[in-house]
Structure 1
Amino acid sequence: MNTGVKITAFAAALAATFGTAYGVGKGVGPFEEPAKAEHGGHAAAPKGQGGGGAAGHGDGHGDHGGGAGAANAPAAGGLQVSDGGYTLALETPTPALGKSTLRFSIKDTAGRKVTAFTTEHGKELHFIVASRDLTVFRHLHPEKAADGTWTVDADLPAPGGYKAFADFKPAVKGAKGITLGADLAVPGAYAPKPMPPVAPTADVDGYQVRLGGTLDPGKAGELRLTVTKAGRPVTDLEPYLGAYGHLVALREGDLAYLHVHPNEGGPGPDVSFTATAPSSGTYRLFLDFQHEGKVRTAAFTVRAGTGGGTGTGTGTGTGTGGAPVEEPSHGAGAHAHG
């Protein structure tokens, strides 16, 4: 088993970040009961497709809680609309309620639209939209026009603030990956929903996903997500974006963003990652996995740096294949998206 890929967090204004592991069960606390840790397989990127996580970029954000190890944590990046000489330019910053088309571009310092990107994890650019209360999550796949304009359809089901993230690497020699964030606002009466509760499992479209491991500020921790269906381990997960699992984590309070891919292994029932929390606090994790031709998303709430330096818990969710993650007002339901 190779070493887990360490990653950093990034993003912008209202929620969180981080990664996951394999072979857990030690010092885990509420993440996982040791008796349940019986599956030794460590699902991850298919051979030859790599499991590297995207690295964080951007300036640090110093006003978010500390905790043991926080001084050594990677700087939270992507908390700005411009970084490294590139800008995320939204052409539709106030999309309509419900289904609408989002348009944006990445511009260089001269204001020109960038047209050349390096393909990573099967895409030239990863585009994520999340609500500021972390109850709506969209992992979208925009299409690029010849002039550098990206277009994608999105369903934004409630009024209020959202954050859009563009995760990409310019096709320039020596360029590093960049994550930029920009605000979206859906008009209407805004009623924020509570953060879904911490819990060890998430139910999604007949599947149950269990999260085990630790998350510590400033210290690499391993987490493992185990997928079962009708009580049986799912051992034939299908590659999605070049891996057997795809994880995005968002930090409550500033929407610091982390986009990671699993360690080597697979094809299930375990999908593992390694990550470092940039600070103590509450995080939302969104795991995409594909089985029987559909992509589903399991969502969790996790607290880092609480009680002895071990991460605690996850949030539960239920949903149907093809529907994006949304939480009802009581915060208990994550809906899978395709």
Structure 2
Amino acid sequence: MENHAGHAQAHHGGHHGHGAARPGGLSVSEHGYTLELDATIRTAGVQRIAFRVLGPDARPVTSFVAEHEKELHLIAVRRDTAGFQHVHPVRDAEGTWSVELALEPGDWRIFADIHPAGHDGTLTLGADLAVAGPYDPRPLPEAVRTARTGEYTVTLDGELLPGEARALTLTVRRDDRPVTDLQPYLAAYGHLVALRVGDLGYLHVHPEGAPGDGTTAPGPEIAFVAVAPSAGTYRLFLDFQHEGVVRTAEFTVPTGTAAPHPAAAAQAAPGHGGHHHGHAHH
């Protein structure tokens, strides 16, 4: 489910369910809407897949509210979190979407992030796709704070906490020089997807601020607010655009432990009873 940035939204669930602790994408059907793939078994290679979003009337939905410039965001990732792709399919008048994906053998999860017209808010539906061929699952990448993608390095500051809004800042550098001319991508300077390791529970996070708002700089820092739905390990995928090319930086992030709020810590100090438990806020 989407978690739009903003302190009030992140702390109080946001509008239309945004920011809720429960991850999205775990169900193929939700609130009467169903993700229907044209085929659930594919061969490896670059494949054109087609699918539909069926509405409560069991007919393909043809009217959507655009979110971040697109009617539908499609995320494809193998179950071992390899092969992440964020693409934007094309829809025909009958409600069939199609897009090309680069598929290696293995079990994949396909996510459709949508806002059907007439529905109160966004939905993330998920479906499994099996890709035939010898499957060599990859171990989970090590948890490190700097990722490389071509000539670019991206550094992650901040932590994920279960059920609590926390700031995440990603800093983009090229050849060790700060990138200060990021280009807008989907109405933002960065687009972040978090997937929970183990079931690929999906959390769609957007940055604070927007290009052209007079306060948000085009890098090197991109600021987000994120809420982890549970303790565990997450895979983070940052898409950013520079010099006309969209690049993706990947991170493995275990959840942290909240530090006591200073006021609560004082209450719990000797002589104050020690029965109050604080919650960190950023």
Superposed pair shares fold, TM > 0.5 = yes
* DSSP-derived class of the 1:77 partner: coil
Distance 1:286 1:8, change over 3 A: farther
Given that 2:160 and 2:166 are in contact with CA atoms closer than 8 Å, whether structure 1 keeps it comes out as: yes
Partner of 1:164: 110
- Tell whether 2:80 aligns with 1:96: no
Partners of 1:113 and 1:160 in 2: CA distance: 28
Residue 8 and residue 111 in structure 1: after superposition, are their counterparts in 2 closer, same or farther (change >3 A)?
A: farther
Superimposed CA distance per residue, residues 132-184 of structure 1 (whole angstroms, 9 cap, x where no aligned partner): 0002101011000000000001111x211000000010111x52100000000
RMSD: 2.1
* Contiguous gaps of at least 5 residues in structure 1: 10-51, 58-73, 311-338
> How many residues end up aligned between the 2 structures?
247
Structure of larger gyration radius: 2
Task: Structure 2: give runs of 5+ residues left out of the alignment.
Answer: 210-215, 260-282
Scaled by the length of structure 1, the TM-score of the pair is: 0.70
Assess, with a 3 A threshold, how the Cα gap between structure 1 residues 91 and 56 changes in structure 2: closer, same or farther.
farther
Residue in structure 1 matching 2:18, options 45, 55, 59? 55
1:148 aligns with 2:130: no
Question: TM (normalized to structure 2)?
Answer: 0.83
Question: What residue is the counterpart of 2:58 in the other structure?
Answer: 111
Partner SS for 1:136: coil
Give 1:3 deviation, angstroms.
3.8
Work out the percentage of aligned pairs sharing the same amino acid. 51
* One-letter amino acid of the structure 1 residue matched with residue 237 of structure 2: F
2:270 is matched with which residue?
Answer: none
**101-110 or 283-292, which moves further after superposition?**
101-110
2:144 corresponds in structure 1 to: 199
Question: Is the alpha carbon distance of 1:181 and 1:7 closer, same or farther for their aligned partners in structure 2, counting shifts above 3 Å?
Answer: farther
Alignment partners' CA distance in 2, 1:240 and 1:294: 10
Once the two structures are superposed, residues 36-76 of structure 1 have per-residue CA deviations (whole angstroms, 9 ceiling, x without a partner) of: xxxxxxxxxxxxxxxx998267xxxxxxxxxxxxxxxx122
The match for 2:235 is 284
Q: CA deviation at 1:260?
A: 1.6
**Residue identity opposite 2:250 in structure 1:** A
Q: How does 1:287-302 map to 2 (within 5 A)?
A: 287-302=238-253
Structure with greater proportional strand content: 2
Q: In the alignment, is the contact (CA less than 8 A) between 2:189 and 2:218 conserved in 1? A: yes
Q: Secondary structure at the match of 1:6?
A: helix
2:73 maps to a residue whose letter is H
Rounded to whole Å, the distance in 2 between the matches of 1:229 and 1:263 is 22
Moved >6 Å (runs of 4+): none
Amino acid at match of 2:222: V
Query: What is the rounded CA distance, in whole Å, between the counterparts of 2:83 and 2:258 in structure 1?
Result: 29
| Matches of 2:223 and 2:16, distance apart in 1 | 12
What is the letter of the counterpart of residue 199 of structure 1? V
Partner of 1:245: 190
Give the CA deviation at 1:7: 8.4
CA distance in 1, matches of 2:228, 2:124: 17
The equivalences for 1:1-338 within 5 A come to: 3-4=6-7, 6=10, 55=18, 74-156=21-103, 158-172=104-118, 175-264=120-209, 265-305=216-256, 308-309=257-258
